[in-house]
Structure 1
Amino acid sequence: MPDLISRLVQVHVFRKKTSGIHEYLLLLRSRSDPQYPGMWQVVTGTIDGKESALEAAKREVQEETGLAPLRIEIIPYVASFYNPAADSIELVPVFAFEAHPSSVVRLSEEHEKYQWLSYESAISRLKIQAHKTALEILEKTMLKKE
């Protein structure tokens, strides 16, 4: 039977414009990256050693974007997928980080480009269903109240 493992995090970074509209940060993976080259995605990464999922999420956002969160939310969704190489089911906690509207993004070598996008534009660019599902929950249930 496959093991249940949680080694990864997914983080949706957003900002609220003065107009009240939310924009979402998407990152374009480097074309030289062997896994998903040239694909738009949210911040993702591995939980290292004994760090918590939240600690990993904060570190990954800092490493991949240089941003510090104004606010952190847990999206009530756990992404999952089967990893045939490890015969494991991966469970991925999902977070939302609010960035200051004037924050400057500093990309790591993992990504070549970034864009702040409307919900509709972000959904259409994302290819991984778990990223789309979490973004929909964030936009339509969590941020709709604001």
Structure 2
Amino acid sequence: MPYKQPISALIVIYTPQLEVLLLERADYPDAWQSVTGSRDGEESLRETAIREVGEETGIAATRYALTDWQQQNVYDIYAKWVHRYPPGTTHNTEHVFGLEVPERLLVTLSPREHLSYQWLPWEAAAAKVFSPSNRAAILELPKRVIHV
């Protein structure tokens, strides 16, 4: 299996009521997160976000409002996953996106990646995720979403 690129997309999927979709990792039970994944080949970050949303949830991101938040987080790759990256790689650069869907959607999980999903109010979702950068993105949600 080829190495992952240390460039990824984090996609916070939410409803107009600021309910956030969280996924439970299959390789780290009880660890909850938003959709996230590494860039493949030379795809754009937007293409990465669209692909990852489809692979991890079955949601067609192109049908909804996908917004690049123009935010990057650089963090240490967790020791349990560093073997997935080229030797000597220690940091990942994560690009944050938001995807507004009209309501809680049914999700089709990829069983090799996730065990379950849930929709939670944004404050509860922020408290539940294991990643500090994911938590920070969810906490920003009310400032980023303006409904007229």
TM-score bracket relative to the smaller structure:
0.7 to 0.9
State the superposition RMSD in angstroms: 1.8
Q: Unaligned stretches of 5+ in structure 2?
A: none
Q: Equivalents in 2 of 1:43, 1:60: separation in Å?
A: 7
TM-score by length of 2: 0.80
Matched, 1:56 2:56: no
Q: Equivalents in 1 of 2:104, 2:129: separation in Å?
A: 24
Aligned partners of 1:64 and 1:107 also within 8 Å = yes
Aligned partners of 2:6 and 2:89 also within 8 Å = no
Aligned partners of 2:11 and 2:97 also within 8 Å = yes
Q: Equivalents in 1 of 2:8, 2:88: separation in Å?
A: 14
Q: Equivalents in 2 of 1:76, 1:138: separation in Å?
A: 14
Residue in structure 1 matching 2:99, options 75, 97, 100: 97
Report the number of matched residues.
132
Matched, 1:134 2:128: no
State the Cα deviation string for residues 81-119 of structure 1 (Å, max 9, x = none).
134752443211110111231532111111111111101
Amino acid at match of 2:73: A
In the TM superposition, what are the counterparts of 1:3-82 in structure 2 within 5 Å?
Answer: 6-16=6-16, 21-30=17-26, 33=27, 36-69=28-61, 70-82=64-76
Amino acid at match of 2:35: V
Q: Equivalents in 1 of 2:123, 2:104: separation in Å?
A: 22
The Cα shift of 1:6 comes to 4.9
Larger relative strand fraction: 1
Q: Equivalents in 1 of 2:49, 2:15: separation in Å?
A: 17
Q: Equivalents in 2 of 1:124, 1:41: separation in Å?
A: 11
Larger relative helix fraction: 2
TM-score by length of 1: 0.81
Q: Unaligned stretches of 5+ in structure 1?
A: none
Q: Equivalents in 1 of 2:110, 2:89: separation in Å?
A: 31
